Structures are given as structure tokens and as C-alpha cells.
Structure 1
Amino acid sequence: MTKPALYATLLRRAGGPLLSLLLLCLALWALHAMATEVTYRQIGAYVHGLPNTDIALAILLTGAGFAVMTLYDWFGLASIGRRLPAKRVGFISFISYAFSNALGMSLLVSGSIRYRFYVQAGLSTGEVARVVLYTTLSFWLGLAALTGVTLLIVPIPADVPLSGLRIPLAILLTLVPLAWFAAAALVRRPIRVGRWAFSTPTPQVAARQILIGALDWGLASGVLYVLMPQEIVGGFGHFLAIFVLAQMAGLISHVPGGLGVFEAVMLAGFGATGNHGLEAPILGSLTAFRLVYYLLPLGVATLMVIWREIRALRHTALITPWFSGLLPPFFAGLTLISGAVLLFSGATLAIPGRMEILRGFVPLPLVEVSHFLSSVVGMLLLILARGLQRRLDAAYVLTLVLLIVGAVLSLLKGIDYEEATLLSLLALALAPAHRHFYRRASLFRASFSMGWMAAIAAVLGCATWLVFFSFKHVEYSNNLWWEFSFHHGGAPRALRALVGATAVVMLFALANLIRPVRTRRALPGDADLARAMPLLKHFSSAQAHLALVGDKMLMFAPDDRAFIMYDIEGRSWVAMGDPVGENEDARRELVWRFREECERAGGWPLFYQVRPEDLDLYLEVGMSLLKIGEEARVRLETFNLDGKSKKTLRGTVNKLARDGLRMEIVPVEDVPALLPRLKLISDAWLRDKKVREKRFSLGLFDERYLSRTPMAVVWQGDEPVAFANVFVTVTKEEASVDLMRHLPDGPSGIMDFLFIEMMVWAKAEGYRWFNLGMAPLSGLQNRRTAPLWSRFGAMVFGRGERFYNFRGLHRYKDKFDPEWEPRYIAVGGGIGLPLALANVASLISGGLGGVVRR
């Protein structure tokens, strides 16, 4: 990769997270500048002094808001003509929004939960995409409508950000939902762009999208409104104008949950109206809003998962595949939040009354050590959250231990029973979930994406800001580090805890930097192929013999229990087929390892021609699946040439047999001596077809490769006229062929003869299936409701004969009455399907030039 390309790749990967970090730092700086006279005690006093009626009303509005959020999914499913049980939709909607609101990673958390749930419920990838598009449009249309109308009606102070652009911004935002509604009302026919057609919704659907989105945001603003100090809540319209601007700024910043950005705009908006001196109550109300609207639903979602896990211990059937699939990222998110809570707690002042109680029976050194270690545990939980997402067994055990340790430390450092309860509940929920964390890989091998590193840096940055905000009136000196006291030791304890947490993350980063360098990838030698031979001979698919070509690198599981064959084209790491091996744990671990190796190298993982029975291997690691064709497999038990439909084949075989043609299976040890004669047939075939050798998913005439498999040879007298190398398995589950060549001037129907004779031979030998290979793009639907890729593939299959004989290949194989099985491509995040297929085509054709040349 050239340097400009490398820099562009790094910019794509790091640009978004680094920009979010920068905006977070700017927001924290603005908050610090606007709240110079505010103390942490003042904010805490306001939160604790809120009337119970206001808190109850805020909780009620939060519940109503989450009920409205459920309508996004409900009507999104209705828009594609699908119906699912309301209880299921409500459960998954609540879980996903509770997490995406708290973490701010809607695509990572809410999107993955939705995808797993709806795919398991029977929706296709295209249908899931349409539901997500519906919900996203409703979300933004509602926000645009509410913000635009509010800004048109309500003036805002001149010091509020974007106040000078209020009217133009209001008009622009209002026009967005109006244009959507007008298109729905006036455009009757699908909008065509080239070959593609896009249908607009009905006016009722468009209006419903806008109203649901606006109601969602209106209820969210109501939660904060009832928590605000009475001195500045004179008019809801003025409050709403500042609220929607602050929310929009938070969303545009891509900072998780808009943390810091939302607070800075809110404080600037209300501070600009002459409410000086009310900064502490405003920040207090914003803190209470975060607790009620973000953390409370998250806690309820956690309890729901705990209850389901407890019930699952007695009723295993309750753990459905989709629910099982979302548990690891669910626990990873909760662990991330728990670590942040411990860090933030260590950065703030303990409650004086509780410290006075603690002083009576806990010695000061134990308090100091507990405070320091609780922040260390918090940082370790942030790191382990990534391991939980990757389903690492070691991460599970360490997290469980650290959650219990953290709960004890929370009580010892300041009787923080709220934190101890949160950590204990998470440990209780995590304890019975060990079966979901089965990977034995090292935590140091787990790759940390830029998003994860940015999240850890953001939490550490917020903790640093909290230390200086909470103790802004303390005079910092060298002696402060060594001050130990119950009453005046808050600042020293917070500083020492912050240094401890920083040291942990730096040591972990250093350990990753100095880990052993990975061995250079190289094509397999004879020793590697010897290691692979027992695995591919016992594998259920004979196509695993493609590893013997030697043009693909091999990645082995520990103890050689499985392997993956792959090659690299550009940034794409393309694995040919499923992991080869009978040990399911080893195969599953290999998929994770392959993806992690790709991410470390900045590549894109792809699995080409995967089978339906192994799709869960790829869904589990967050890959998308798309059908690319069907494979023809003949059931040999029922295979024969009887009946009217086989009349032509029967006649061809009988005629060529009378002409003296015979088929012989040449054993492996006799193949090398025969190859010079077969080379003449191969060269003549290539010249006649005007093609060159393919690779990757197809074999080529290579003496080392062909010497490793038996050979089916058609003889006419003493001369070979056609041949094909044979893939056979020890289990006799399947037989297949790869390289097939014949003399251009040989007898007509010679390949039919070869196939029929090989199937007759395989049936006599006791094989169950004969694999005729894949027909690309066959079996894809061109219906209006089908996914875009399916419709495109079906169109190419029907009209792309000038580029490739799609229909002819399918018809040829279909005359042997095979059973057609779908084959898929599994694509990782960050790569588009066209680029993935271009890279695969380049590998098969031996370079981009081979894609356009035969």
C-alpha cells in the first residue's frame, strides 16, 4: 500500500472518533469556562433537593417517551408488510433504545440488536435495512419538524450558538418534513434513477413518521423541563427552542449521548438570558435528566435481562438464538458503563455524612487503598468490556471477579451503596452467562478499534475534567499527593486514583505495543499442506481440497483442529469457504481470530461461498450475509438414468461407450506419470477457449497440485481425450471435481459422459453426494419487495450472458437433477458489496486485468 493510500486509510478509521474526542474536549472546556463559580457540592445539593413530585413526573414522561419509541419499530415493520408479536417488538425496542441512548452508539448497539432480532424472526437483510431506514427517517424528520417550527415561533437570545441563523435554519429544517410529506402526497409513481426505482410512502405514513418523531422529542424535552429550576421555566416554548438546539448539536458532534456538548449549549442558552448565578441549578437539573432519562431505563433493561437469565436457568428453551446473540454486546455495554461509574466516583468528592460513618469502623489506610483500587478496577472494566464483546472466556472471569471486588471497594471508600448495587446486579446477571463467552484467546490479542479507544479516552478525559471541576478551589502543590485525611483528603485521593487509572491504560497499551511481532504471511509449503490434509479429508465438503492448490495462505487453529484458507486483495482478506475441520469450537474461534487479524492489519474480512449450516459463525461476529448463488449437489442414492427426462443423457453415454470411450479413476500415486499427456489436452483446451488459468476458487493445471488428488481420465483407445481431478473424502460424504479439460476436437458430449461415469463410480463407492459446483447468482429474486442486491443479481443472471454464461451454466448442471443449496458471502463492516465482489473477482481472475479479459 502506498503512503498516500495508507494515510487515507488511517484518516478514514481515525477521523470520526478523533473528531468526536476533540468536540468533547471543547465542550468540557466551555463548561469549565461557563461554570467557574459552580462547585460540585452545589450541583449535588440541587439534585438531592428536587421534589419527589417532579422526579415522579419526570419518570412518568420517560416511560411515555420509551413507549413512543416502540412505535418506530412497530410502524417500521408495518411499512414492509410484516407483523411480529407486540411483546417481542416492545422488549427489543426498549433494550436497544435504553443502550443506544446511554452509550450513544446507536449503529453499534441498537443496530446490532435489531439486526440479530429481526434476522432470527425471519426478515431478510434488505427488510431489516428498510425497517432501520424507516426508524432513522422518523427520528430525524420529527427532530427537524419540532426544531424548525419552534425556532420560527420562539425567538432565542443573541448569545446562544446559531442564534444569528435562527430564521434561515428554521426555514430549512421545516422544509425537510414538508418536502417529505409533499413527495408522499404528490408523487404517485416510483422515482427512477437509472435502473432503480424508489417508492415514496403514502401521506398517512409520512405524517405518522413526522408526528411520532416530534412526539418522541417533545416528551424528552418534557422530562428535563420538570426538573429545571423554577426561576427559568417561565415558558415552555423558549425552553424547547434551546433544548432542541442543544440536542441537535449533541447529535451532530457524534459524542456518545451528546455528553458535554448538550450541557454546554444548554448552559450557554439559559445563561445568556440573564439567569446568572443559576449555573449550579441548571447543571443539577441536567445531571438529574441524565439519571432519569438515560441511566434509569438502562437499569430497568439490565433487570429485565437478569430476570430472563434467571428464568433461563430453569427453562433452557427461553434462551432463543437472537437473545443469546445480543447478550455479549449487552454485557460489554454495561461493563463499559460500570467502569465509567467507578472512575467518575473516584474523581468526585465523597458524601461527608457517609465518610463520618465510615470513620467510626474503617481505618484510614483501608479507605485510601479502596479509593485508589476502585479507579484501577474501573479502568480495567473499560478494557475488559472489549473482551466481553469478543466473547473471551478470560474477560468473562476477570470481569466477574472485578465487579465483586469493585462493589466491596465502593462500600469501603465511602459507603457508595448505589455503585455497589449496580456492580452487584451486573455480576448477578453475568454469572449464569458463562456459556456465551467460550473463546480461549488471549485478551492481548483482541483488537481495539478506533471507536473503542476513543470511548476509553473519552471516559478518562471526563474523569480528569471531573477531578479539576470537583476540586477547583483546592490549591495544588506537591505536598497534596501525600496528604491523607478523612475530611480533607478528597482532592489527594482523586488525584492518586486518576494517576492509577491512567497508569493501567498506559501499561495495557504498552503491553500491546511490545507483544511479539506476527509471523509474515506466506503461501503454504509441503509441511503446511500435510497438516491440512487430514482435516480436509474428513470435512463434510469436498471443496475444502482447494487448499491443495497452494495459492492460498492457511491459518490453523491450535493443535491443528481446523484451518482457514484465504488470500488478500487490496484491503480485502478473502477466505475461501467455511473453516475446515470437524471441531466446532475450533472453527468458531478461527472466524473470530481471522476477523481480528484483519482489523489489526486494517483489512476487511470476507468469507466467500459459505454454507447455510454455518451462517451463525458469521452472524456471531457481526458480519452481514448476502446470497451469491446456489451449489448443485446430486444425491447419489437416488441417482440413475431412468425416465424420459434422462433420455438425452442416456443416449449420449451409450453412444460414446459404443465408440470405445471409457472412464478410469487413476489413483494419486499414478497421476504424476500421466500429467505430461494431460498437459497437451489442457493447453489445447485453453487455446480453443481463448481463456487463461483461473485461481482461488478454481484449480489450475499445476503438477504439484494435480499430483495430490486422484484423476478421472476418459480414454479413447490408448489416448486420453478428457480429464478431471477428483476430490474425495474419507467419510464418503461427498465427491467432487475441480479442473476439467477435454480435447477441442473430441467426441461430442464427452463432458456429459465424464460426469455421468464419475457419478456412477462415486455411487458404487458408497458416496452420498456428488458436488457439481456453484452456479453464480442463481436463485436470487427480482421481486419488487426483494433486497436491492437480490434484484441486481437476478437482473445480471438474466441479462449478463455477454459477460458470463450464468444461465447456461445453471441449465447445464440442472439436467443432472441436483438439489440446489444457497451459498453466501459474509462481509464485515466497513466494506461495500461491490468492492467485495470486485476483490473476489480479481483473486479468481488473477488480477484486475483478468476480470475484463477472458
Structure 2
Amino acid sequence: MHILQWFKKNQTLFKSLFLITVAVIVLSEVLSLSKTISIQQLQSIFASLSVGRVSMMAVIGLLCVVPMIGYDVVLNRILDQHLPKRYLLETSWMINSLNNLAGFGGLISIGLRSQFYGKDKKGKDIAKALSKIFIYLMFGLSMLSLIGLLLLVFGPASPFLQQYWIWLLGGSLYFPIVYLLSLSQKNDYLGNMQQKDRLLLIATSFFEWVGVFTAFASVGWLMGLSFDVWQLLPLFIAASLIGIVSMIPGELGTFDIMMIMGMTAFNVPRESVVVWLLLFRLFYYVIPFLIGVALFSKNIGVSFNQRFAGLPKELCLEIAHKIEVFLLYFTGTMLVLSATIPDAFDQIKWLAQLNPIRLNFILQYPSIILGYMFIVAGRGISARVMRAYFPTLFLIAATIVYAFIGGFRISTMLFLILLFVIMVVSKSELYRKQIVYAWEALTIDGLLIGALTILYIVIGVYNMPHLNHHPHQHSMDFLLFPSEKMWLHGFIAIMVVACAMLLFARYLMGSKHQIGVEAPLDTINQVLTTYGGNSDSHLVYLKDKQVFFYPDVQAPEVFFQFSTINNKCLVMGDPSGNTARFPEAIQAFIEEMDQWHYLPVFYETSEEIVLLLHEFGYDFIKFGEKALVDLSTFTLSGKRMKGQRALNNKITKEGFTFEVLQPPFSTNHLSVLRDVSDKWLDGRKEKGFSLGFYSETYLNQAPVAVVRNQAGRIVAFASFMPTYQDTSASIDLMRYDPELAPSGTMDYLFIQLFTYFQIAGKETFDLGMAPLANVGTFRSSFIQERIAYLIYNFGSHFYSFEGLRDYKQKYAAVWQPRYTLYSRDSWIGYVMIALLLVDNKPINRS
């Protein structure tokens, strides 16, 4: 009793051990089967057979396995189960194909059927149902044994066949004896079955064994061999009976020896019989068995995947996708190289072994075209774009046809079929609606395609007549072409394929979809008024960026402002709005970008957002520091502020005054402010994106602080930057007239602003970013930060970054770091170039 309870308690463990055991048996059978099949022999056989005949053998072999599904239909009817048809078909095929080759007297069949069909049933009920099915498995062979026996008795049977009459007699007795026992309604293990189920099992067994014989005879007929079907049938039945009694998996050995001896006696050449048996095993056992193994792996994988919350499937699909991309690029490269330096694949052994597709040089033209197209397809699959799926399948199918024409090789076929299967299995990885050809991708593909093309041109130069007799030529004679005409044909193919590649790439790109909308000011005001914002939120009024609203534009709570360069969406600052919704808003934004193959780059973000984005797999670099003035402690008193105090007093005594103007501004005011701005710029182009530029629409969104001279003329101004926070203040656009404003005017303006906001009750004043402050300047700095420093500092001539930090240092009490975050699929060099371009793109001064 205790033993029984222990078995029940560890039932799951025993089921797992059984599946592992089956997997080990399957693996061992694959290894033993590989020893009986010669790859070289198969290649020579297939080379002598037409594609049509080989295809017919494969189709007939698969069709002859189908009747066995009837066993499982009846089994589930007895168990009163209504399983999904697809599940029943897959599991039935798997069980029967595995049992055919590695059945061990039906033990695997019984075990697997218990595993897949008896999960919710009692062990006793399963045993009863399986025993009823099991006794009918041999009915078909028994019926055929009777037919074979009659052929021996009444037909012109050869003396060789006569010796097996006892086997045929014994086999024919199985059906009537067992059938009579099964009619009993008292025996739950053999009888007690409905008549329609009994008849269906008899029919299934009969057609199963007719199918086995049909598959065998069809192979011989398609090989063009001459034989007598009525002599073949008794021999085949007797050999099958002896093989089954031996309980050798798939009847390996026993069946083969008998068939070779018998067919040789019928004047069929021994070599032809060996090939016949080889093809029969391949198409009736091996191919269905491999499909069964795939289904077996799938079913085990489903259980394993459910146990670990779907992680194994995601991991496997990701690995399959990486392998798929590699194989596409690898195949494309090898196809081009095989047409470019064909002799190298004959002379260099390791290169020949590396090449998965070995074709004749005469087919140079399509090899070049297919090779380059595979590279473009690899980019589409790498980008996970749905539009690449069917063209890539077509390319693989075209290459399969091409391989048949160029000389059939089983290794080539297996490689292409594997690639095709991986494509189909990993289809779910293709979810994007378009491809945006990133600079990183263009660099990789450009280098690869450029290298292959340059190699071809170099070979053309190497084959020029005046170089034909150089001494060094003997060391690299694999670079020689049969003729200049052949090389020219290949070069023309490269020119043709260049156009085809552009068309293919353009198809994959589709009609470019732009994320986000133009900034609707009313909606922006609604979000900022309701939920607040940050010191960068006000830049949205520049209207030089797109806006993404979350959850939608009708009822927004959060928005992102960004500009797009290539495939990079450069997000300015932190998101604005309801901070409680930031995590889900960031996720929705990234997912929307990802669907259209854009990569967000988050520019000048705070530490809080860095922590959120790092969970999404983003890398980050420190991009600078934001200077904050502590207004609660700010004063001009003391030794440290002696210079600023003297400067402020000097400008005040000279009659300069400070004033804050409220919007909307008059035309006269705007004209004066524009004049000051233009003089300050002195012909330089304004920067946008992360900095305010002169725009009347933008200036009218907030107050402007101005400095007037003795005559009341505005000589300097600073536009307010609303922070949408109660305790903080900031400014954006700062300009002065170099002719009218004395030295120190901007310091005077800052000091007056500090006093103004102190009175208004603000606690901090945001002086803005000091880009690249303390970034990449240390020997231990991250390499990404050092690259960023070099590129951004070299590419920007608008500010002296070091001088900007030194100036702000006079007032800043606190420095807050700011970061740039980018996807790991982006290269930091290209991220910095994108930031430079977006910072310096033409601005709209509306």
C-alpha cells in the first residue's frame, strides 16, 4: 500500500522520466539508423532519379502512414474524450511514426498514448482501452498473411517462398482467434466494445499493412525494377512476420536479409534490392519518423514552456531568429563567393566544407543574384519585418530549385530545408510593419556587399591579359576565370542585382510611417495644467518636434516630445504629465516605436527616468550636468560674491533697469526683441530641439525679463521657461545687444532674476544644462562617454562647453547629472551624430 502511494505521489516524476527515456531511445535509433544509410549512396541514387519520381516516393510514403491515425480516433472514442482535431492528428502521427521505427514491441506506443491521452483518466481505464487497441494492430497483417498463404497454395509460388508457408499460416490464424476472443462482453481488456469501433479498428489495421506494402512496392516500381507483385506479397508478409517476432525496432536487419535473399531469387540484382530497401526506409520510416520527432519535441516543449511561464519558447525563438539571420547572410555570401572564386572551393578544403551550397560554376549568373538578394533578405529578417517573410521563403524555394538544376546534393537540400523550417517556425518573430534602414545596418551591409563587389573587380583586374604570366599567379590560381567574357557576365549580373536589391529593400521599407503628431497647443496646455511638467516641457511650444500622447490624444495624461533622424527618435528630456503613469507610458512609447522599427534615444534625462529605462534594456551615458541655484540661500553678501556684487551695483548706477514683460507682446516689443536677438547671433545659425530659438509664437507663451538702458531701450532679454512646478524657476532664450549692452549685462540680468524669483517664493533656479560637463574626461571613463565627448565637442561650434560650465559655476550650488539613453541595437557614434544633426537642423521661426 505504501509503495502504491509512493508511486502516485511521484507520478509526475515518472512521467518525466518516461519522456526522457523515449527521447534517449529516439536518439539512439537515429544514430543506429544513420549507420545503415550512406549519404554518398543516397546522393548517387537521387542523381539517377528524376525529381518527379523522388517526390512521388515521398508523397506515397507519407500517405501510407495516415491510416494509422484511426487507432487513436477509436482509442479516444473508447475513453470518451473529445480532443481538438489538430492535437489528435499531431500526437497520433508522432506516436505511430516513432513506434514504427523504435517501437520495442509496442512499448513506446503504449507509453506515449498513456501520456498524451490518459492524463485525466484512471490507470485501469487506460489499460483497458489500450489493450483493446493493441490486439487489433496485427489484424491487417494477419489478413494479408491469409492472402499470401492462398497465393502460395493456389498460385505459381517459387520454391524459395514455399519454405515460409508455416509463417504465413501462423500469421493468418491470429485474426480469427483473437477476433473471437474480442467478442466477449465480459472481458474488459479484450472485448466489451461497440461493433462500429471494432470494424473501424479492423479496417485501420488492414489499410495500415496494405499501406506498408504499397509504399514498398511503389519504390521498386518508381525505380523502374521488374518484379511480380504476387510473388512479392507473400515474401514481404513473411519477412514482416519474422521481423516482428524478433522485436527488433523497425525490423532492421531481419526483414532486410529476407528481402535481399528473396528478391535475388526472383532475379532482381542484389545492388538494386539494397537501394530499394534504402529508399523504402527513407520514405516510409525515416521522413515520417523525423516529422514525428519534431512533433514529439514540440509537445514536450509545450509542457516545458508552460512550466516556466513561456520563457523557454521566447528564448528558443530568439535563438532561432539569430541563427536564421546568420544563415541568410552566410548563404548569400557563399553564393556570391562561389560564383566569384569558384576554383577556391575546389582547391581550399576548409572553404569547400564551409560552403553549404555546392554548385557548378556554369550557373554563375543566378548565384550572384541569389547571393546578394539573400543578404537583403537577411537584413529584413534581422529587422523582424513581416514583409520579409514570403519573399525570403520564395528565395529559399528558388535556391532549392537552383540546387537541383546545378547538381543535387543531399547536404545542400538538408541545409536549405533546415533554413526553410527555421523560417516557418520563427515566423512569430516577424512583427514589425516596416523596416527603417538604420545607419548601423547600412554600414554592415555596405561593408559586406562592397567587399564582395570589390573582390570581384580585383579578380577582373587580376585576370587582365598583361598579368596572366606573373610569377605570383601560381600561388593564387584559384582567382583565375575561365574567360574575360565569363567575368564580364558576372559583373553585369552585379549591376543588375544592384537594382534588384534597391527594389527589394524599398519593398521591405514600405510607405514610411511617422510616429507622433504635430504639437496641438490646446492638448499640451491641458496636460501641463492638469498634471504639471518639468523644466524641458516648455520646449514643446517651439513646434519643432513631434509629440506622442499616452494613453491617447483624446484623453492624454503623459506626452513625449521628439524628433526623428534615420531610425532614431530623439526624445527631449523627461516625459511630461502624470508621473504615476510614466512607467506604463514609457513602455507604450517604446512598443509603438519598436513596431515601426524606430529606436528611441532619450536625451538629457534625469536619474529617475534612467532607472526606469534601464529596466527596458537601455544603455546610458552621462551627458552633462544641470546647474541649480539655491534661491533660499542665495545672496550677494560675502567674499565669494564680491565681484558679482560690484558688477551689479555698477550697472545699476549707470541707469540700467530690470523689468518683466507679460505676454501677449506688442508688435513693437517683438520687433525690438528680434533686433537684439539678430545682433547677438551675428549671422550664426540658431540651435533648436534642446534649446529655445527666436520664435514669436514661442515667446508669447511666457513672460520675458528685459534690461533697459538709460534711454529706456531694451538691450538684453531672457524668456521665462515655465517649469510647471511650484518651487522651481528657469529661463531659456538669453540674448543681448553687443553694441548697447555693457560688459556684465547678463550677470546683472541673472542677479535680478534670482531676486525676482526669491520674492515669488521659488526655492531653486535652473540655469540649464552644461553639456559634456565632467563627461569622458577621466582615464577611467566609459569608452562610450569618451566617444560622445569627442564627436559632440568636435561637431558643435555654437558654444564653448567648458566656458559655459565655468560661467554657471559662479552661481550654481547644486549640479544634477543628466543622461542620454539609447538602445543596445544603436551605436553610440551614430547616436551622437543624430543628436548633432537634430540640434543643427533648420528651424521654423513662426
TM-score (norm 2): 0.43
Higher relative contact order (CA 8 A, sep 6+): 1
Q: Which has the larger radius of gyration?
A: 2
